[in-house]
Amino acid sequence: MERITKCFRRNPEAPGLADSAIELSDVTIAYGARVVISEFSLKVPCGRVYGFVGPNGAGKTSTIRTILGLKRARHGEVRVLNHDVTRDRSVLRRVGSLIDPPSLYPHLSGAENVSVFAHYYRVSASDPACLLDTVGLAHAGKMRVREYSQGMKQRLGVALALVPQPDLVILDEPMNGLDPIGIAEFRDMVLGLSRRGKTVFLSSHLLDEVSRMATDVALISRGRLVYAGSMNGLTRTVSVCLIEASPRELAVYVLRSVGCEVSVAGEKLAVNTEVWSPSEISQLLASRGVVLNALIPDVQESLEDVFLRLTKGDPV
């Protein structure tokens, strides 16, 4: 990843390594009487690609805005790179972020947009072109942003997040509008940042892509933490089998009536096998008049499978 190596150097003015990139302790976030995050605690290690996933309305963006000091928590402590952001906002100069649609100057070119931000962060004059190259926009540096496609604007937003050569990069839905080639390039860029020792905190609905980039993941649902830890630990939390059965509704009813966790996995049903083994599940369904068309035991769950199971089908 030569482009990442050229554009990003370690900041000699930065203090020593922090214990964690982000640390939330018993954080509660509310809008008036409506609580969106309740007693939330999370620790993000430095140097990781950390996925942050959950259904719409789970509180992901509110959490990110609170980490960045854009929203004040009602209760709890928010620390970024060992600094309490409510007391020391200077640490945010070591953080790059992209949340919501990027704020761009449409009448300026892509290079000029980066130069405005580079001037603010006192980045050397050669960096804007390098940053555009990093996000795949070297060919469009002289184009006015009003002529950019949605995917190009999203790439430019990521470039702006990288302007301060941050130690921590926070990205909220950064792959919106990117085509498959753009997503692959974005993945390569994120992994390159990680190899350079940067911490990337990534929120996205593209669960398959998160699983391909992230070393760790936090899953939230209805404002509460469901899981936080390694990606491998999440996808190996529960053994499941996949079944095709008819009538399907009766199979779901029978399995849930005996305490099995059941979720929809495409045309199949994913069944938790911690309590009932695959052979016992087969015998149980047959005894209740359910026709079992197929049973695949010991399936490794994808992040999407786990997401649907742990959030109990909350809307994505």
Q: Both 135 and 197 in a single domain?
A: yes
Can you give the residue range of the structural domain that contains 276?
A: 239-300
Instruction: Tell me the average pLDDT across 147-172.
Output: 91
More confident residue, 302 or 34: 34
* pTM for this predicted structure: 0.75
Confidence of residue 128 (pLDDT cuts 50, 70, 90): confident
**CATH code assigned at 250:** 3.30.70
The structure tokens 């669960």 sit at 207
Question: What token pair was written down for 205?
Answer: 């609905």
Determine what percent of the chain is predicted with pLDDT higher than 90: 41
More confident residue, 189 or 127: 189
Phi-psi region of 139 (alpha: psi -120 to 50; beta: other; left: phi over 0): alpha
Question: What token pair was written down for 314?
Answer: 């909350």
Element (H, E) at 220: strand 216-221
pLDDT digits (tens, 9 = 90+) for 231-273: 877 765 557 788 999 999 999 999 999 988 888 777 888 888 8
Closest-CA residue to 218 (of 292, 150, 307): 307
pLDDT digits (tens, 9 = 90+) for 64-75: 999 999 999 999
Task: State how far the alpha carbon of 194 is from the alpha carbons of 67, 90, 115, 262, in Å.
Answer: 20, 23, 25, 36
Does 135 reside within a domain? yes
Query: Which residue among 191, 218, 234 closes a domain?
Result: 234
**Residue 43 pLDDT exceeds 90:** yes
Structural contact between residues 79 and 246, judged by C-beta atoms closer than 8 angstroms: no
- CA 148, distance to chain mean position in Å, is 25
Does 25 reside within a domain? yes
pLDDT at 9: 58
Does 153 reside within a domain? yes
